[in-house]
Structure 1
């Protein structure tokens, strides 16, 4: 099909069900700049010749069933590759050195594979001065990653996914703030022990995931500045050892996970001002006291609430009768108040609600 397309520059077959093995060689236009075969059912080993296509700038092969590794060597004409997408395949092996020395690279997505080995971050990525997005999550890497040094050396970075990568993330926690343009940052299960000071400058952050780490104590008071008033959309601090929260004003927040910490004190009243919130999990903490009346304002947007395994007291606010799109609810109330909850369930207009 492509043999006569001698001047073809862009080929996109996204979501087309090819469901076959890429051939050992492909007679394709030498003018090709962009090749996207995302979610096409491709199988077999990742063909190394694709990396040597003379004019290729964008290569997107994510969401397939490819095996094998990334070639350890490519020809010099490939230094202008700007976009490399290989996420969600079954690739393995170590990452080649050329991947860290190609200054034209802007987007590297390798998550959801079986890559392994150590990546010496103090020596790598420094030449990737144009890098804006890096995804290495859900792999089998090893070794430590010193976060402050990496952020300082990659000031154009906007997206960093490292969750469940196998890396241990450390920080010197110096009071220097970089990367104000950061948009998405996920560091779940990276053995992080503190809430990094370097996050303070991230006024445009929309997604922050620090779940399943080893963060202890009180979240710093300035954390409420992250993302500005309306920037932060998703925050996950679950499964840590956090004891207290700052005063925050994340009015645009839609997704908030605080479960499985050691957080004490009353229900944070600032949550009542999150009019866009649709997912709230505060379960398995040490919250106590009354659920404030202002909580009723959230029921028009909330689809899931879990406040179980806490020490809340009193009754659910009366405005809770109007459940809007609510699908699942759990409250951790004392036994006497629990009877009130079960009775109120009968008046929720057939919504699928489970009250604890």
Structure 2
């Protein structure tokens, strides 16, 4: 009885605000989100036969979800139970011909498999069951849902490989695909991804068709995603927003070139997997890309210069791979910090070390090594060695000069020195005449 106390009080307050002849069966919209509701869901809510929107997100409710909630999906369009503490299994008996458009169960403690009766939800656009404890393989049978636009399965215990599609046009309208932080293995689902037609820009007029997801009346769809390294709640999702997040799994193999066909993609995250090979140059065709994260893999080779064409790319993370060569310059590459490239020992160029060997980074460790190398170079030079070399060179030079002038050999060198002496003395002492110098020279020769 205590579990339903908060609901009872709330219903009483609502009842007092309506005329006494109000019929609860006529209620179509109930929004109790972001309150302090506790306890379990009363199954009596299933008696509201005309209810189309039930919004209870952002509370502290617990207990299982009554199985009758799948039965009322015959008229229910939106069931938003996100960010609560519900546990148990997802209701399993969604009937054929139901009207469910948005099922939001993100941020609970639900477990068990994904109910296959969801394939009966032909009008389902948003399926968000991320951040639970669901254990299952990838629900490939969801590919046949003609209106599915958002599929979020992130942070669960899903596992296994993702098989090849058996449908001619799988996930035809999918624009947000997030299966991050599960236990998926095998190669990336290239065959499935290349058929994401909604992530391909058919023509340039698509930009003018942008609108918010939802039915345009009572409720706007919202999702929580990882973008540019931050968890962001998008309260109103534009229909042109597209993202693929496969991070935090155990995918291996190479990145398929076909990813470059998704030219309306905004966010792409393949980080923290076991990917090998090179970064496809076809990534340069992702003209609308704003965020790219390939960090913590085993990618090798050079960074494609084609990435410099991505004018909207504001977040790039290629760190902790095995990339090598010079970092491309120009375009957005001039704006990225060294954190975008660290952990790749073979990379050089701005903002890391110069490819010529001098380290331009402001890292104190790099300056420490540079200073140590300089000290090692100078340690062999002392004032004693310098003084000894100076004295020895001076004595040797004077001795050679005396011998050369005594023997008058080589003649060309003696003539050259004499000529230089004449010009130097003429410049410094203009009062000495040339014939006096010649007389002095003849006398010096006679004495020798």
TM-score bin (small chain) = 0.7 to 0.9
- TM-score of the aligned structures, taking structure 2 as reference length: 0.61
CA contact (8 A) 1:216 1:242 kept: yes
Alpha-carbon RMSD across the aligned residues, in angstroms, is: 3.2
Matched, 1:219 2:264: no
Q: Does the 8 Å contact 2:67/2:93 carry over to 1? A: no
Q: Indicate the SS of the match to 2:162.
A: strand
Q: Distance in 1 between matches of 2:89 and 2:333?
A: 49
Q: 8 Å contact 1:164–1:190 — kept in the other structure?
A: no
Instruction: Give 3-state SS (helix, strand or coil) of 1:269's partner.
Output: coil
Q: What SS does the aligned partner of 2:109 have?
A: coil
Q: 1:219 to 1:148 in 2, by over 3 A?
A: farther
Alpha carbons of structure 1 residues 120 and 156: separation in structure 2 relative to 1, 3 Å: closer
Write out aligned runs for 1:130-141 (5 A). Answer: 130-141=147-158
Q: Which residue of 1 aligns with 2:176?
A: 159
Judging changes above 3 Å, is the alpha-carbon distance between structure 1 residues 286 and 151 closer, same or farther for their aligned structure 2 residues?
Answer: farther
Q: 1:245 aligns with which of 303, 310, 325?
A: 303
Residue aligned with 2:272, SS:
coil
Contact 2:26–2:48 under 8 Å retained in 1: yes
Question: Is the CA contact (8 Å cut-off) linking 1:44 and 1:65 kept in structure 2?
Answer: yes
Whole-angstrom distance in 1 between the partners of 2:196 and 2:77: 26
- Higher helix share goes to which structure? 2
Equivalent in 124, 146, 169 of residue 105 of structure 1:
124
Q: Are 1:20 and 2:39 matched, yes or no?
A: yes
Q: Which moved more, 1:62-71 or 1:184-193?
A: 184-193
Contact 1:131 1:156 in 2 (8 A): yes
Where structure 2 has 5 or more consecutive residues not aligned to the other structure, the ranges are 1-10, 16-22, 200-241, 373-448
Aligned partners of 1:263, 1:26: CA distance in 2, in Å? 57
Closer/same/farther in 2, CA of residues 221 and 35 from structure 1, 3 Å limit: same
Residues 32-55 of structure 1 deviation map (CA, whole Å, 9 limit, x = unaligned): 111111111211212222222241
Unaligned stretches of 5+ in structure 1? 296-306, 317-328, 340-356
How far did 1:117 drift? 2.4
Match of 1:66 among 82, 86, 91: 86
Match of 1:285 among 344, 349, 358: 344
Identify the structure with the greater strand proportion: 1
Check 1:119–1:185 CA distance in 2 against 1; reply closer, same or farther (3 A cut): closer
> Equivalent residue for 2:407?
none
For 2:48, what is the secondary structure of its paired residue?
A: coil
Query: In structure 2, how many angstroms separate the alpha carbons of the residues matched to 1:92 and 1:312?
Result: 55
CA contact 1:254–1:278 (8 Å) conserved in 2: no
Aligned to 1:198: 258
Q: Can you list the C-alpha shifts for 1:146-189, whole angstroms capped at 9, x where unaligned? A: 36667941121101001122222535757994324321100111
Q: How far does residue 5 in structure 1 lie from its aligned partner after superposition?
A: 3.7
Alpha-carbon distance between aligned partners in 2 of 1:162 and 1:133, rounded to the nearest angstrom: 11
- Work out whether residues 119 and 143 of structure 1, in 8 Å CA contact, stay in contact via their aligned partners in 2: yes
The aligned length equals: 305
The correspondence for 2:360, drawn from 312, 315, 328, is: 315
1:210-256, CA deviations, whole angstroms, 9 ceiling, x for partnerless residues?
Answer: 01122212111111112x1xx21221101111113212122222222
Distance 2:37 2:344 in 1: 49
Per-residue CA deviation, residues 93-139 of structure 1 (Å, 9 max, x unaligned), is: 11111113321111111111111123462xx1243111111011111
Give the deviation of 1:66 after TM superposition.
0.7
Q: Which residue of 1 aligns with 2:110?
A: 91
Return closer, same or farther for 1:69/1:162 CA change in 2, 3 Å cut-off: same
Preserved CA contact (<8 Å) 2:170 2:192: no
Q: Which position in structure 1 is the counterpart of 2:30?
A: 11
- Matched residue SS, 1:167: strand
Go from structure 1 to structure 2 and tell me whether the alpha carbon gap of 1:200 and 1:283 turns closer, same or farther (over 3 Å shift): same
Moved more, 53-62 or 16-25: 16-25
- Determine if contact 2:171/2:195 at 8 Å carries over to the other structure: no
* Mapped partners of 2:46, 2:102: distance in 1: 22
Rounded to whole Å, the distance in 1 between the matches of 2:193 and 2:118 is: 28
Among 35, 41, 44, the alignment partner of 2:63 is 44
Aligned mates of 2:110, 2:192 — CA distance in 1: 39
